[in-house]
Amino acid sequence: MALHMSSLFLRTLREDPVDAEVPSHRLLVRAGYVRRVSPGVYTWLPLGLRVLRNVERIVREEMDAIGAQELLFPALLPKEPFEASGRYAEYGDNIFRLTDRKGAGHLLGPTHEELFTLTVKDMYSSYKDLPLALYQIQIKYRDEARPRAGVLRGREFVMKDSYSFDIDEAGLDQSYQRHREAYVRIFDRLGFHYVIVQAMAGAMGGSKSEEFLATAEVGEDTYVRCTSCGYAANVEAVRVPVPDAVPYDGLPAAHVEDTPATPTIGTLVDHLNERFPRDDRPWAAGDTLKNVVVMLEHPDGTREPLAIGVPGDREVDEKRLGAQVEPAEVVAFDELAFSQNTALVKGYIGPGALGTEGTSGIRYLLDPRVADGTRWVTGANVAGRHVIDLVAGRDFTADGTIEAAEVRVGDACPDCQHALETARGIEMGHVFQLGTKYAEALGLKVLDQNGKLVTVVMGSYGVGVSRAVAAVVEGNHDASGIIWPRELSPVDVHIVAAGKDDQVFVAAEEISRDLEAQGLRVLVDDRKGVSPGVKFKDSELVGVPTIVVVGRGLAEGKVEIKDRRSNERREVALEEVVAEVVREVRGG
Ligand code: ATP
Ligand code: MG
């Protein structure tokens, strides 16, 4: 049955909701698609639910097409499997935890790796059962620190999550590739512009990982792309091109110098230029090696200091560092910590005090730019003194490298050395190779061809289904309202009965019936006593791509077809309107 505006559970709003910062949030609320219940928790009204179901249908069709099987897990989960995987602690404040009447702990699932792993373990035991891919479209719960932008970042949201199970890495590669291709088809059909970026495997561990980002100014994810080749990566995952090692021969010996009152890079560079001028060029911040000490807090509550050496013209990027040390949290290295590590002289920390071989024993990781043979000015571990011509590899070594320095526009692309630029996006989907992390933790093993027990290799793949509704609106709207891509529109045609005469309403109903008979979904604005102007405005706000206006022209046997996307209108004869509209809708 066609939807009728006179009875549809809908109230469009002329005013923007006060809490809405981004267009999709404003428009989805104003056009009556969603309604807020509490921060990050929304009700899907009839029109919104139709769009959400359309997204689900597209996702379902593409998942089924790669042979993934749908099932449905509960959202209410016992905490034990999450304790076994370590995620009960890792997720921290981000999970909703609850206790039942008997005192048993539960949580509302933020994602379901554990449950999938345990269920496959329950039911399967042989290599013959693999490969296997399972998925669900289900509500997830995360107590996000900053729920924002309506359904874009909710605390309750719909996710499609799937998991692949293979006997070995080669199998995982194939499963991953199949999912990746399905995601390309899903996001092509959803109708927004997106990029695929390299990502960190994050809290999940594992190896290969890519994100599908909807390109959008309002996006919370900053990614980096090459201005020349196809390289694109999440800022957390950007790799620094490692410079070739420089031979040490002929480099001057390191020498410690008095540099009074130079605790910052700026004061140090000024002092160097005044007292130790170079022949070739002035000293710059990039000639200095800055050593930053932080404290890591591990999920089990233990603390561990970590020192990071970066060129002095760069800051340590909190997000990049955070991604590298996950699941540990980075907290400040405070005065108390300094007082407990007397080998560290604030403002003058140098490699001599760092590393497992250094006087403090603090683990020391270097930015990859600090390659063997590079020369640095850095702290001498004595107040007011620095060491000049300290050569990496010759005079000091660290415990390894870390990608934690800030990424800048103009940095070299790791693949082709051309300049990188930054852009913003919304994470819509994520594919990653879990490897054996969960199978190992939860004991998912099967017998291989030789009767030997082997650990199953897994992949995990998510799509933000409810987030996609908002992302589609971000990419498809104008000043008047939403402009749905056909596949997502709540209906195919929006008929506006614009006039007072009964004839107008009768004709609108007839057209509606005929279109429905052709299999189209129809919304009729049959409200009496509502002006044509208001109806037109509502039709633009609601955003159905094809609008039929039955109005003044009816007396001459004409109605108008309006394309919401191009705003083009044309008059057609009443007898032809059904065929015309069907052709348009089917034509895309
Ligand atoms: P984000 O970095 O945006 O917090 P995530 O990396 O934590 O997302 P995943 O665990 O990879 O998210 O979840 C899979 C997909 O679920 C994401 O790609 C995203 O589209 C969607 N999603 C995640 N968190 C939310 C949320 N709070 N609200 C709506 N959708 C979400
Ligand atoms: Mg993710």
Q: CATH code at 373?
A: 3.90.960.10
Report whether 194 contacts 428 (CB < 8 A): yes
Ligand number nearest to the C-alpha of 138: 1
Backbone angles phi, psi at 48, to 5 degrees: -65, -40
410 within some domain: no
Q: In the block, which residue shows the tokens 């001057």?
A: 252
Indicate if 499 and 546 belong to the same structural domain: yes
Among 28, 159, 194, name the best residue to mutate to test ligand 1's pocket (greatest count of ligand atoms within 8 A of Cβ): 159
Ligand number nearest to the C-alpha of 199: 2
Indicate if 198 and 295 belong to the same structural domain: no
Tell me how far apart the alpha carbons of residues 293 and 353 are, in angstroms, rounded to a whole number.
Answer: 11
Indicate if 332 and 431 belong to the same structural domain: no
Higher pLDDT, 146 or 527: 527
6 within some domain: no
Q: Name the domain boundary from 413, 446, 474.
A: 474
479 within some domain: no
Give yes or no for a cis peptide into 263 (omega within 30° of 0): no
Q: Name the domain boundary from 401, 432, 466.
A: 401
Among 42, 197, 430, name the best residue to mutate to test ligand 1's pocket (greatest count of ligand atoms within 8 A of Cβ): 430
- Could you read off the pLDDT of 22-49 as tens digits, one per residue? 999 999 999 999 999 999 999 999 999 9
Q: What do you get for the CA distance between the two ends of the chain, in Å?
A: 23
Nearest-CA residue for atom 23 of ligand 1: 464
| pLDDT at site 477 | 94
pLDDT classification of 204: cutoffs 50, 70, 90: very low
Ligand 1: nearest atom to the Cα of 147? 27
Report whether 130 contacts 167 (CB < 8 A): yes
CATH code, 440: 3.30.930.10
Nearest-CA residue for atom 5 of ligand 1: 427
231 within some domain: yes
Tell me how far apart the alpha carbons of residues 336 and 333 are, in angstroms, rounded to a whole number.
Answer: 8
Q: How many CB atoms lie within 10 A of CB 135?
A: 25
Indicate if 535 and 565 belong to the same structural domain: yes
| pLDDT at site 309 | 96
532 within some domain: yes
pLDDT classification of 587: cutoffs 50, 70, 90: confident
Biggest CA–CA distance in the chain, Å, is 97
In the numeric block, which tokens belong to residue 519?
């299999």
Indicate if 46 and 182 belong to the same structural domain: yes
559 within some domain: yes
- pLDDT at residue 55 above 80? yes
Nearest-CA residue for atom 16 of ligand 1: 464
| pLDDT at site 192 | 83
Indicate if 32 and 138 belong to the same structural domain: yes
- pLDDT at residue 205 above 90? no
Residues with CB under 6 A from ligand 1: 111, 142, 144, 153-154, 157, 159, 427-430, 462, 464, 466-467
Total of domains in the chain: 3
| pLDDT at site 499 | 87
Ligand 2 center–CA 212 separation, angstroms:
9
What residues form DSSP beta bridges with 521?
Answer: none
Mean pLDDT over the full length of the chain: 93
Ligand 2 center–CA 430 separation, angstroms:
5
Q: What beta strand segments (E) does 487-583 contain? A: 493-497, 522-525, 546-550, 558-563, 569-573
Indicate if 351 and 448 belong to the same structural domain: no
- Could you read off the pLDDT of 251-299 as tens digits, one per residue? 889 999 999 988 899 999 999 999 999 989 999 999 999 999 999 998 7
Contact residues for 206 (Cβ-Cβ < 8 A; gap 6+): 432, 433, 434, 435, 437, 460
Indicate if 144 and 183 belong to the same structural domain: yes
| pLDDT at site 209 | 92
Give yes or no for a cis peptide into 252 (omega within 30° of 0): no
Ligand 1: nearest atom to the Cα of 110? 10
194 within some domain: yes
In the numeric block, which tokens belong to residue 331?
């907290």
Indicate if 495 and 354 belong to the same structural domain: no
pLDDT more than 70, % of the chain: 99
Indicate if 362 and 459 belong to the same structural domain: no
Indicate if 466 and 496 belong to the same structural domain: no
In the numeric block, which tokens belong to residue 160?
């499609």
Comparing CA positions, the residue from 128, 126, 153 lying closest to residue 141 is 153
3 within some domain: no
Measured CA angle at 213 (ends 211, 215), to 5 deg: 160
Please state, in angstroms and as integers, the Cα–Cα distance from residue 54 to each residue in 58, 258, 476, 489, following that order.
6, 70, 16, 8
Indicate if 433 and 578 belong to the same structural domain: no
| pLDDT at site 588 | 66
CATH code, 558: 3.40.50.800
Backbone angles phi, psi at 92, to 5 degrees: 55, -135
In the numeric block, which tokens belong to residue 460?
């995990």
Q: What beta strand segments (E) does 448-499 contain? A: 453-455, 457-464, 477-478, 481-482, 493-497
- pLDDT at residue 324 above 80? yes
- pLDDT at residue 92 above 90? no
Tell me how far apart the alpha carbons of residues 288 and 313 are, in angstroms, rounded to a whole number.
Answer: 8
Ligand number nearest to the C-alpha of 183: 1
Which residue range(s) make up the domain with 531? Answer: 491-586
